[in-house]
Amino acid sequence: MVTNVGLSEKIPAYVREIIGRLNAGGFPAYAVGGCVRDLLLGRVPRDWDVTTAAPGQRVRELFEKTVPTGARFGTVTVILPEGSAEVTTFRQDGPYRDHRRPQSVEYVSSLSHDLARRDFTVNAMAMDAAGQITDPFGGRADLERRLLRCVGDPARRFSEDALRMLRGLRLSAELDFAIEKNTLAAIRELASGVHVLSGERVREELFRTVCSPRPQTAGRMVEYGLLSPYLTGPGASAPWERLTAVPDGLKMPVLAVLMALAGETRDAGELLRSLRCTAREAKLASAAGALAGELSCREEDIRLALSCHDIPTVLCASGALGFYAAAQRLARQGRFVTPRDLAISGDDLRALGLVGPEIGRLLASLARCVTLGEAENRREALLPLARQLMSDR
């Protein structure tokens, strides 16, 4: 064990309070997993996990506000005014069902058994209230080497739970860690095991990967076959670095368009639906996928696209084609006119004898002309132009 008093001070007061109250109740308790890893790396943990010898029922008695988030696995969320933490009773996992979840869990009295069920050595460390670290699998040494290594036999650990393979790649992208040789070999060998996972869980890891500073790691997921249940193509490479310029809210639709352009999916929207993204994201991806086939980085082309597609569609297609920043600048400048901005409306065209979808098409043509500076946005200019375009058709 290594003592590091300075570290315990980095644990937020409310997490220390949770550990302290469990200790006062007679139960060992530790911060554990990713939060300890991140503290040692000097990163801000995303969430706080506490592991304790206290059974779930005792945890619920010791705190006023708790939610039994994973009662079957002994997890209780403890809510204090300043924040919450997941408190889990020491456990080891029973045999695994479906390569996804253990059939049963067994509560154990020792911290080291609990650490042994965790996925990677750097995620298998615990820290007590005094900052003492328990590290039975060499997690600290792997942190220094910036290496992700399975706890135990990688093939066994990935067969138990296929999500760990995606977590491994996602963590390597977020932390800029390499994956240890045997761990990586097992991922390559067992990648097809991911077919048992739900779209939501795959999406979460993929999304976090493309939001990381190394979105190209998603390309390794494709290469190893970790996304094969969702892709139909040959595993082509794609210009993943383009995702860096795109805001997080557009990353999944842009990723889907990249995959459509690389021939990995028939339809970008379909890919997102299978990954259980929102209907809005899927619709956006389909529209942007269609636009990407005809859009170029010429300023005039982008302004024309802005005149007849909504802004997110143009930004999404531009993001996939590698000119997100230019499209965003042009969208902000507003030097384009949409059919809705025109000085004439569908009713005017109806009065000229047009019906149905022809009206929308002609309004779009007029908006293009105004955007290109070929016509002024005034009724007196647009009505004759509309008549002329109608007679040209």
Specify the residue, 207 or 336, whose C-beta has the smaller distance to ligand ATP.
207
Instruction: Return the range that interacts with ligand ATP (CB under 6 A); candidates 11-19, 118-126, 198-206, 343-351.
Output: 118-126
Give the integer Cα–Cα distance in Å for 223 and 236.
8
What is the pattern of x (binds Mg ion, CB under 5 A) and - over residues 11-50?
Answer: -----------------------x------------x---
Cα(149)–Cα(183) distance, integer angstroms? 6
DSSP three-state, residue 87: strand
Residue 135 touches ligand ATP, criterion: CB under 6 A? no
Provide the minimum distance between the beta carbon of 106 and ligand ATP in the complex, in angstroms, as a whole number: 15
In the complex, what is the shortest distance from the CB of residue 164 to ligand ATP, in angstroms, rounded to a whole number?
Answer: 5
**Those residues with Cβ within 8 angstroms of residue 267's Cβ, 6 or more apart along the chain or in another chain:** 260, 286, 289
Q: Work out whether 139 is an interface residue with ligand ATP (CB under 6 A).
A: no
Instruction: Give the nearest residue (CB) to Mg ion.
Output: 34
> Which residue's CB is nearer to ligand ATP, number 166 or number 291?
166
Element (H, E) at 88: strand 83-89
Q: Which of 51, 123, 212, 318 binds ligand ATP (CB under 6 A)?
A: 123
For residues 158 and 194, give the distance between their C-alpha atoms in angstroms, rounded to a whole number.
10
SS3 call for 179: strand
49 near ligand ATP, judged by CB under 6 A: yes
Nearer to Mg ion, 177 or 336 (CB): 177
Q: Minimum Å distance from CB 175 to ligand ATP?
A: 9
The partner residues of 78 in beta bridges, in order of sequence, read 66, 85
Question: 333 near 307, Cβ under 8 Å?
Answer: no
- CA of 314: how far to CAs of 133, 293, 311, in Å? 51, 12, 5
Q: Find the binder of ligand ATP among 163, 250, 292, 362 (CB under 6 A).
A: 163
Round to whole Å and give the CA distance between 86 and 90. Answer: 12
6-45 positions binding ligand ATP, by CB under 6 A: 33-34
Return the one option of ligand ATP, Mg ion, none that residue 118 interacts with (CB less than 5 to 8 A, by type): ligand ATP
Nearer to ligand ATP, 99 or 303 (CB): 99
φ, ψ of residue 148 to 5 degrees: the values are -100, 120
**For ligand ATP, how many residues bind (rule: CB under 6 A)?**
13
Q: Number of helices (H) and strands (E), helices first, in the chain?
A: 20, 14
Distance CA 19, CA 50 (A): 7
User: Applying CB under 6 A, which residues contact ligand ATP?
Assistant: 33-34, 46-47, 49, 118-119, 123-124, 161, 163-164, 167
User: Applying CB under 5 A, which residues contact Mg ion?
Assistant: 34, 47
